[in-house]
Each structure stands twice: as C-alpha cells, then as structure tokens.
Amino acid sequence: MRRAYSALLGLLAIVLLGTGCATIRTRPLTWDVLPFSGDSDWLGPKGSPARIVGGDLILQGQRVRTDTPYEAPVVIECTVELEDRLAPDGFFGLEFVPIGSPRDTGPANFRRFRIIYRNAAAKSGHDALDMYAGDAASGQKILWGEEPFTVEARKPYAVRFEVLADQMRITINGTAYDLKDVKIPYKQFYIQLVGWQPTDRWHVRNFSIH
C-alpha cells in the first residue's frame, strides 16, 4: 500500500509539471507532492494531495514542495484565491524549509508566511497576515504580524514575496509590507505551499520564482 501511494504521489508530481502552471526563469518548475504529515495529532479530515484543476493548483490540507533548493535573493509571485470560508479558521502558507527536511512529517525548522482567515466560531481574532517561525531547538514564534487583513472568498490576491539577504518584502494586490530584520536563516531552502484547513480549497495560479 505504501509503495502504491508513493507511486501515486510521483505521478501527481509529473502531472503538476506537465501543466506548465509554474516556471522558474525559462525552465519548468517541478512540484514534489507531499503526503499529510505523519506526525500530526490532527483528528479531522486529512484533505487531498495537491492537484491541478482547470489550470489551478489546488491545495487542500497537504503540501507541495519545490524539488530544487533556492537561496536569497529570490522573488516569488503567484495569485491565491480561497473558494469558501468553510472552517472556523484557515490559512494559505508559503513556507521556507532547509535542505534535509523530511517529506512525510511537518517541518521542524521553517519560516512560514500566512494569509489567515478566522470566522466567528474561531474566537481567536480576525483575518490577518503574519510570518511564523519554527525551530527544533527553540520552539515556535511569530516574527512579524499579526497585520490586519481581510480575506474574501472567491477574490484573487496577487502576492509578490521578495526574500532579500537581510529582510523580506511582501506585496498583496498593490499594498506593500516590509518585514525588517526578518530573514531566512538557511543558506539554501526549499519552498513549500500549504492550504489549511483540509475542508478548504485554496487555488494558486501564475506561480513563478525568479
């Protein structure tokens, strides 16, 4: 069963490559489709592997990762859209993880930018943007934010994420946010995308890295 599932993930990675939905400079960008984190204590639905529907990359609770590592400076651009605000809360995440990070568990070390929505049932605040850090030695913390933001279902958000040597800059639909002194601590890193919660469907299109 595990071999069959691995083969399915590999096939999906080829399908994602074949759509031409993502490019790096002049070369196609291959996504590695990751399974649901095996170390998660989440008891709810596990979502679905990332897939292409109508030219959109659909994220539903499971990650994809670039098969090529990058290093600063780099610019990431894409358009993100949430179908519906179905869960108490959820987010689109753009993650940076060091080389050697496992495929089948949640990353122990990461930097994660989030576009977060929260419905009334969440009782934990409002829609926001933030930059979150995880470190195996020192735990997790928010590096930037929460910055107030409004997430509307079926509204496209054009995201430009600049990773510089000593800071980051994010632009969403023309509004810029400077994350001063926030940087990626790994010389080389993979880029991951995740859409949470598993009941939600996040659409990603026009993805590029340059």
Q: With bands split at pLDDT 50, 70 and 90, how would you rate the model's confidence at 138?
A: confident
CATH number at residue 83: 2.60.120.560
In the chain, how many domains are there? Answer: 1
pLDDT of residue 24: 38
Task: Characterize the bridge pairing of strands 202-209 and 22-24.
Answer: parallel
Eight-class DSSP state of 8:
H
Q: Average of pLDDT values for 182-210?
A: 97
- Using left for φ > 0, alpha for ψ between -120 and 50, and beta otherwise, residue 61 falls in left
pLDDT of residue 5: 44
Q: Average of pLDDT values for 102-129?
A: 92
Neighbours of 94 (CB within 10 A): 21
Give residue 76's domain range: 2-209
| Preceding peptide of 197 cis, ω within 30° | yes
Q: Do the beta carbons of residue 201 and residue 59 sit within 8 Å?
A: yes
Q: Average of pLDDT values for 8-35?
A: 57
| Angle, CA of 25, 27 and 31, to the nearest 5° | 105
pLDDT of residue 116: 98
112 vs 144: CA distance, rounded Å: 10
Q: Average of pLDDT values for 30-57?
A: 94
Q: Residue 7 corresponds to which amino acid?
A: A
In the chain, % helix, strand, coil (3-state, to 5) comes to 10, 50, 40
159 vs 127: CA distance, rounded Å: 16
49 against 16, higher pLDDT: 49
Give how far the C-alpha of residue 47 lies from the chain's centroid of Cα atoms, to the nearest Å.
15
